[in-house]
Amino acid sequence: TIRDVGQVAAPINKAAPALAPGSTARVDVVVRTRRIGHFFPGGTVDAFDIWLELEGRDSTGRVVYWSGQAADDGKGAVEPGAHFYKSYQLDANGNPINKRNAWQARSVLYVRLIPPGAADVAHYRVRIPRDAVGPITFTAKLNYRKFSHYYTQFAYAGQPEPGQDPAKLGRAHNDLTYSFATENIPKNVSGNIKDQIPALPTIVLAQATAQVPLSDGKTPTTWTPVVQKADRERWNDWGIGLLLQGDIKAAEYAFKQVTVAEPEYADGWLNVARALIQEGETDAAKPYIAEALKRDSSLGRIYFFKAMIEKADGDYTAAIASLKIASDKYPRDRVVLNQIARLLFLERKYDEALTYLDRVALIDPEDLQMHYTAMLCHRGLGHDDLAQREEQLFTRFKAEEGARASTGTRRMISPEDNNERQQIHEHESVPL
């Protein structure tokens, strides 16, 4: 579901409208996955058109903001500055992998997927025209198209332009330019095409609207957050999206409002602690962990983050004890098992650490942390042959850091793609 558009869980003070004509504001749209056990989107995430669209209209119906516009009344390509959910892969020369040519993929420009039960936040920079008539109605849509517009054209009519150098196509790259002329469509293509590339339908997976009043331009602009129990989930969703982006201080602020909205909600206190731990403020996180345990001591995740604080304090014995509580509740959580093994390694209990790493190997044989810690443990035990094997496996499965260089070309020629690659970024309106 798309959570409310606008200042999340901060209703406007009616005595002092939030926006004035000619002003600029940031609108956040929160997208959360619910009741699914996989990342969103699932499947071949390099091939879909899944994007967030935000449109703002004043009371006369005039469009004052539009991000995520699709050309040709929604049938054409999505504007490149939209907020996409996909895996943007590149070949060795920095060309997009957009022809189902996965064998040529060599690097990733960005991957934006939402984990189960998590959230994503899209930020929009909205400039209100001076002659706009309030209120402004914002409509957010999460759109889905089975295949991207480019791939649909390629699949039906894509043919290389004549006279190109054969060297432009190789094992690791495709520099060819293609023609999508309708005369390229095969006569025996399946379906009643009639010499026209079909337009795949766009499905709106979720939609939300919000109205923001405009002031007369003279009244001071103020925001008055109103924290109510009914808004607890909205604050929490916003905080999760911010935390995943690395906007730690903003996430901390959002999570603190969760504790105000519903003090008995243990995850609110825990999430404040998570933000503080990620920032390195482990001492400041301790009282929040204590409050979370006071409200629900059965949550295994509380013990995991409690262990992270104890680890930072150098109390490895206490950290291992906390992690074992989490492991007893979730015996196949490889992150917990890896942390236990790491702490046992630091205590030079190499054999015991390897028993936990063996459990990780049964869950995910390609786990990088497992192979790295196993390599260190075998070196500590003097098992040179086994240590060398783990080192080879670690090198085999880790991402090739040098491959990132091929993203430079794409980032330079496409400022929209470069913007989307950033963890925290804003979207502007298309020309209106």
Between β-strands 159-160 and 178-179, what pairing exists: parallel, antiparallel or unpaired?
antiparallel
**In this structure, which amino acid lies at residue 302?**
I
Q: What is the pLDDT of residue 151?
A: 96
Q: What is the pLDDT of residue 49?
A: 96
**Per-residue pLDDT for 222 more than 60?**
yes
Q: What is the pLDDT of residue 220?
A: 65
Which neighbouring-strand residues pair with 66?
55
Give residue 399's pLDDT band: very low, low, confident or very high (50, 70, 90). Answer: confident
How many other C-beta atoms can be found within 10 angstroms of the C-beta atom of residue 356? 25
Q: Which segment of 244-248, 269-273, 404-408 scores lowest on mean pLDDT?
A: 404-408
Q: What is the pLDDT of residue 245?
A: 95
Which neighbouring-strand residues pair with 32?
119
Distance CA 41, CA 10 (A): 29
Taking alpha carbons only, the member of 11, 419, 20 closest to residue 219 is 20
**Per-residue pLDDT for 11 more than 60?**
no
* Phi–psi pair at 326, nearest 5 degrees: -65, -40
Angle at 180 between CA 175 and CA 182, to 5 degrees: 160
| DSSP three-state, residue 225 | coil
Q: What is the pLDDT of residue 249?
A: 95
* Phi–psi pair at 276, nearest 5 degrees: -65, -40
Q: Which segment of 99-103, 139-143, 318-322, 404-408 scores lowest on mean pLDDT?
A: 404-408
Listed as own residue / partner, the contacts of 335-339 with beta carbons closer than 8 Å and 24 or more positions apart are 335/304, 336/304, 337/363, 338/367, 338/369, 338/370, 338/373, 339/304, 339/307, 339/311
In DSSP notation, 49-100 reads: EEEEEEEEE-TTS-EEEEESPBTTTTTSPBPTTSEE-SEEEE-TTS-B--SS
**Per-residue pLDDT for 3 more than 50?**
no
Distance CA 101, CA 175 (A): 12
How many other C-beta atoms can be found within 10 angstroms of the C-beta atom of residue 25? 19
Distance CA 76, CA 275 (A): 41
CB of 306 closer than 8 Å to CB of 270:
no
The pTM score is 0.90
What would the pLDDT profile of 207-219 be if each residue is shown by its tens digit?
Answer: 999 988 888 767 6
What would the pLDDT profile of 132-187 be if each residue is shown by its tens digit?
Answer: 998 999 999 999 999 999 999 999 999 999 999 999 999 999 999 999 999 998 88
Contacts of 177 (CB under 8 A, 6+ apart): 160, 161, 164
Read off the pLDDT of each residue in 341-368 and give the average, rounded to a whole number: 97
